[in-house]
Amino acid sequence: MIWFKKDIFSRGKEKTVKVPQGLWVKCNHCNEIIYRKEVERNRDVCPKCNYHFRISARRRIEITIDEGTFTELFEKIAPVDALGFRDMKRYTDRIAAAQQKTELKDAIICGEGSIEGRRLMLGVFEFSFMGGSMGSVVGEKITRLFERAMEEGVPVVIFASSGGARMQEGILSLMQMAKTSAAIERLRRKAIPYISVLTDPTTGGVTASFATLADVIIAEPRALIGFAGPRVIEETIRQKLPEGFQRAEYLLEHGMVDMIVERKKMRQTLSRLIDLLTD
């Protein structure tokens, strides 16, 4: 009886298995290797552990807004290098590289559309554009979005994903915190709802301004939310931080966000909130 078969002709030859690129994805949380199509069908959420992958602004709009209803606004506004800033690279080179990579002018897409037939103004950050950092263009587009909402009398929803203010623009970037906050106050005086959705990560000047000044603050599961990052805080105070510090669940427990909503339930939740806030 033959228990195994040996290929004597393959001796000395290296056998390789070719695996098509891009078919599989590794979960950053549970380390499972998952078929990419399965993850995409699950709205870019790990089917094993419910880890929410970071997604592009275009993908966010695709899974959130009613098909065929989104119209982009202010898309031609582009950044300039007012300070002539240079670190390891010139700021103009960084902008050009980010624009080529994302096919966007800057780190946010703004527009109008509908969710389950309910009209709204929408802003969605693109983290791949210089870490979703907020410079003059991001602040201007958000402010104009609030102003358009006031003109049209419709609610605003912003999905934040940012490392904070853009250091290459210095004080011009920090000014956007006050600028957007003032626009929210004008929006509030007209009793127009504003909903903020904090995704992973939302930090720095974005967290310290418009992202946490909404009527309702939603977070995605396990999203990192804070001002300074955990590593910076630990090095500053020389203490170990609590388990899960600055994650969405910790912030919900301590009253910093109103609810945590999974991606597959986001459309229905936003639709219901808009109904409640506009009655």
- Looking up residue 160, the CATH number of its domain turns out to be 3.90.226.10
Backbone CA torsion sign across 242, 244, 245, 250: negative
Residues 147 and 167 in one domain: yes
The number of CA neighbours under 13 Å toward the Cβ of 145 is 33
**Same-domain status, 110 and 24:** no
In a domain, 2, yes or no: no
Same domain, yes or no: 101 and 22: no
Residues 104 and 234 both lie in one domain: yes
Provide the pLDDT for residue 16.
53
Do β-strands 194-202 and 118-125 pair in parallel, antiparallel, or remain unpaired?
unpaired
Asked whether residue 105 falls in the same domain as residue 37, the answer is no
Q: Are both 62 and 132 inside the same structural domain? A: yes
Check whether residue 132 and residue 162 sit in a common domain: yes
- Residue 140 belongs to some domain of the structure: yes
Spatial contact of 152 and 114, defined as CB atoms under 8 Å apart? no
How high is the pLDDT of residue 231?
A: 87
What is the span of the domain harbouring residue 44?
A: 18-53
pLDDT on residue 176: 98
State the pLDDT at residue 7: 52
**pTM as predicted:** 0.90
In a domain, 6, yes or no: no
pLDDT for the residue numbered 47: 94
Residue 204, in any domain of the structure: yes
Q: Among 35, 53, 71, identify where a domain stops.
A: 53
Burial class of residue 95, CB neighbours in 10 A (0-12, 13-18, 19+): buried
Any domain includes 161: yes
Residues 111 and 89: beta-carbon distance below 8 Å? no
Alpha-carbon gap, residue 139 to 210, rounded angstroms: 10
pLDDT of residue 21: 65
Rounded (5°) CA angle 248-170-196: 25
Per-residue pLDDT of the chain (279 residues; tens, 9 = 90+): 444 454 544 455 555 545 456 799 999 899 999 999 999 999 999 999 999 999 999 999 999 999 999 999 999 999 999 999 999 999 999 999 999 999 999 999 999 999 999 999 999 999 999 999 999 999 999 999 999 999 999 999 999 999 999 999 999 999 999 999 999 999 999 999 999 999 999 999 999 999 999 999 999 999 999 998 888 899 999 999 998 999 999 999 999 999 999 999 999 999 999 999 997
Same domain, 31 and 167: no
Does some domain include residue 12?
A: no
Count of domains observed in the chain = 2
Per DSSP bridges, beta strands 216-219 and 259-260 are parallel
